[in-house]
Amino acid sequence: MLAAGRTEDFSRQVISPPIHLIFLLVKFHFYFLWFLPGSFWLLARALSRFSFAMISAWL
């Protein structure tokens, strides 16, 4: 019984770090899903303003 309990604790200790890494990857994935579209939107706004200024100056 004690050996089975020890092996269960050992397997939990071995299994838990990859689970934490997976949770970290999921957190960063959601962070990038929230953050990157905003940065792309800002970049698109800046590029559209710049291209509009260039086109108006060219016209």
- C-alpha–C-alpha distance, residues 37 and 28, integer Å: 14
pLDDT score recorded for residue 6 = 56
Q: How far is CA 52 from the centre of its chain?
A: 32
Residue type, 35: F
Segments in 1-59 forming alpha helices (H):
2-58
pLDDT score recorded for residue 20 = 77
Q: Could you report the per-residue pLDDT of 7-49, keeping only the tens digit for each?
A: 556 555 555 667 777 788 777 777 777 676 677 777 788 888 8
Q: How far is CA 11 from the centre of its chain?
A: 28
pLDDT score recorded for residue 16 = 66
pLDDT score recorded for residue 9 = 60
Written as six digits, the tokens of 26 are 């999921």
pLDDT score recorded for residue 44 = 81
pTM (predicted TM-score): 0.33
